[in-house]
């Protein structure tokens, strides 16, 4: 504190100055609290994104495994140009949607507005 007096001797940090400083500290503190709240939100968003990535990768792994099983059953074997459509049964929406281009093209989801 004495250091501050030394570099800013013109500041009248007497009785009046303390109140003024307090008021401006309140302002800065409010902003910092706000930043802290937003930081917590950003952290949550980050973890949600990570979770989403894990889930999507897991879904894709399941799909790839199924595709491999399906290939082993067919006598021809060999890698076809596109994965077989076994996975895209109606009751397996998740697998159906995670086709190769689908999961990267987030743009399809951005424009869409369902009832949230």
Partner 1 sequence: MPSRSTTYGTGLRGLSIATLVVIAAALTMVFYYAPLDADQGFIQKIFYIHVPLAIVSLLGFVFGGLMAVGYLLTGDRRWDMRSYVAIHLSLIFGIGALVTGSIWAKASWGHWWVWSEPTLVSFLIVVLLFCTYQPLRFSIEDPERQSRYASVFAIVAGAFVPLNFIAVRLAQQYVHPRVLTLTGGNLPGSMMLTFLVSLIGIAMLFATLWKYEMASKNARSQVRRLRRTLLGDDALAPAGRSAAPS
- Point out which residues bind partner 1 (CB under 8 A): 11-12, 16-17, 19-20, 22-24, 26-27, 30-31, 33-34, 38, 41-42, 44-45, 48-49, 52, 55-56, 59, 93-94, 97-98, 102-103, 106, 108-116
Given a contact cutoff of 8 angstroms between Cβ atoms, the answer to whether 5 and 13 are in contact is yes
CA angle, 82 as apex, 59 and 70 as ends, to 5°? Answer: 65
If the CB atoms of residues 80 and 109 are measured against partner 1, the closer one turns out to be 109
If the CB atoms of residues 74 and 108 are measured against partner 1, the closer one turns out to be 108
Minimum CB separation of residue 42 from partner 1 in Å reads 7
If the CB atoms of residues 32 and 74 are measured against partner 1, the closer one turns out to be 32
Give the residue carrying structure tokens 């570099």: 7
Minimum CB separation of residue 71 from partner 1 in Å reads 24
If the CB atoms of residues 48 and 69 are measured against partner 1, the closer one turns out to be 48
What is the spatial distance between Cα 112 and Cα 109, in angstroms, rounded to a whole number? Answer: 5
What is the spatial distance between Cα 24 and Cα 18, in angstroms, rounded to a whole number? Answer: 10
Q: DSSP strand E in the chain: where?
A: none
């Amino acid at each position: 504190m004495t250091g501050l007096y030394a570099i800013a001797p013109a500041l009248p940090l007497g009785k009046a100055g303390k109140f003024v400083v307090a008021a401006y500290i309140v302002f800065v503190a409010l902003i910092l609290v706000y930043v802290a709240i937003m930081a917590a939100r950003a952290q949550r968003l980050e973890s949600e994104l990570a979770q989403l990535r894990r889930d999507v990768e897991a879904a894709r792994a399941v799909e790839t495994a199924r595709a491999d099983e399906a290939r082993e059953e067919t006598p021809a074997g060999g890698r076809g140009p596109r994965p077989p459509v076994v996975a895209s049964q109606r009751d397996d929406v998740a697998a159906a949607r995670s086709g190769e281009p689908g999961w990267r093209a987030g743009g399809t989801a951005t424009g869409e507005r369902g009832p949230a």
